[in-house]
A = this chain, B = another copy of it.
């Protein structure tokens, strides 16, 4: 029975396990969503206090923009309406009504994701719900470093607010100026400091969630903002990374870390991936507790960023490549970042470290001031926009045991793609990643092409995913599933686990109104 609910062309894989299924009752499985009527809009308008800036019709250019994915990979599927509630009570009232009427909702944060998770999948049917009006930071305990805020706060604003009081938000991303903390939580965003400050989910102390039927769940959000609490099931974790398919996160209480007073960074270049691994081990040894991030960029992405002319590069791939020691795929560039409290100590550690790796690197440049520190990070963060600008990019965000990265890239044998009509110069494989976390961003860009090519997808994806799973990696390390990877879930999890995930969905959103077409594989 449940298999009908989640049926697809891959029925065999998706059908429910035989032993008693978790799903108890599923109602209205076959009915389509209702269409939005004028009287629905009247109700929304009333809930939002008849404020026209909070309810935008499909004809508004803002709604067109909100319906369009920035990567150009998904849609466009124009939304039917855009709502911008200002309070949790309004979110609750809107959802309760949409639940009763079975109207589909797409929660949307800063819309900076890479898997199409925050734009509609059904043209002219879905309602986008933005929480940008709910952007208050409501409390920060200066002694404990515990901050409470609404979901619509832009990450950078939250970072700045906490930094002013000596605390560091345990998440940083290139998109921080645009993304919202609610979106970060809904996608369980990763970023470069995962190893140093722990996962975002691990730092969530409290959460406020509005369920599909409008009920408000409060897990230590409005009260009891404590680091330690063992008075209940940790159900709030279900919502973190669930991409708005189980509920809408409206507020969070987060544990911050003490703000580092000394930050240092260097770019070093290695001739081979083996040397990268040596440098990583020595960084752990000599930089120790101040090691905050280690980001890798291969020669291809370095060369592209260099060629873009938008950055002053501290090292030149061209020059280094001539070194006879450089092996295939090299040189490899590492951005090593440290966070500490005592600049003298940190600099001494750096000196010892750089001496220890001098035979393992081709060259290295230590940032001389915060301006250069930031410019180093800008180079790393420009990797994604650089390939995006060159053409359609087939992006794979994978986890693998660190030692296997380069082997795996070789295994991809991209020369196979030649027969598909691409010359070598029209295809670029450029890779970067959060190497401390075992997280690689593997990218194939078709220069000058703007549309996805099915033949390439078919040639790439079976290789990529099969090989990653065979090696015990993750096919989505930090970018999530959205509408890009949800069809792959049956290859990742066994039937009992899939069944259990479906049961969570059925329990919390029985009418399937929340972010349809995302996360779980569902028939359209």
Contacts and interface: CB of A to CB of B under 8 A. Distances in A.
A297 to B, nearest CB: 18
Nearest to A200: B202
Contacts of A472: 223-226
A475 interface: yes
Contact of A194 (B194, B227, B287, B480): B227
Nearest to A242: B233
Interface stretch (A70-78, A444-452, A490-498): A490-498
Interface stretch (A309-317, A328-336, A371-379, A499-507): A499-507
Contacts of A144: 401-402, 438
B19 A232 contact: no
B231 A240 contact: no
A304 to B, nearest CB: 25
A188 B227 CA distance: 13
A219 B497 contact: yes
Contact of A226 (B25, B203, B477, B494): B477
Contacts of A188: 230, 234
Contacts of A342: 288, 345, 348-349
A142 to B, nearest CB: 9
B401 A228 contact: no
A520 to B, nearest CB: 9
Interface stretch (A171-179, A277-285, A358-366): A277-285
A216 B240 CA distance: 23
Contact of A229 (B25, B224, B238, B474): B474
Contact of A474 (B194, B226, B280, B290): B226
Contacts of A22: 507
Interface string A15-53: 000011010110000000000000000000000000000
Contacts of A233: 238, 241-242, 246, 501, 504
Contacts of A225: 472
A489 interface: yes
A467 interface: no
Contacts of A509: none
A496 B224 contact: no
5 contacts: A215-B496, A220-B474, A228-B434, A228-B439, A231-B475
Given A24-B25, A238-B238, 17 more contacts: A143-B401, A198-B202, A217-B500, A218-B496, A223-B472, A228-B437, A228-B478, A229-B476, A230-B241, A230-B474, A237-B238, A260-B288, A288-B342, A289-B340, A342-B349, A345-B348, A503-B507
The 9 A-B pairs of least Cβ separation, nearest first, read: A288-B341, A202-B202, A237-B237, A226-B399, A24-B24, A228-B477, A229-B474, A198-B198, A345-B345
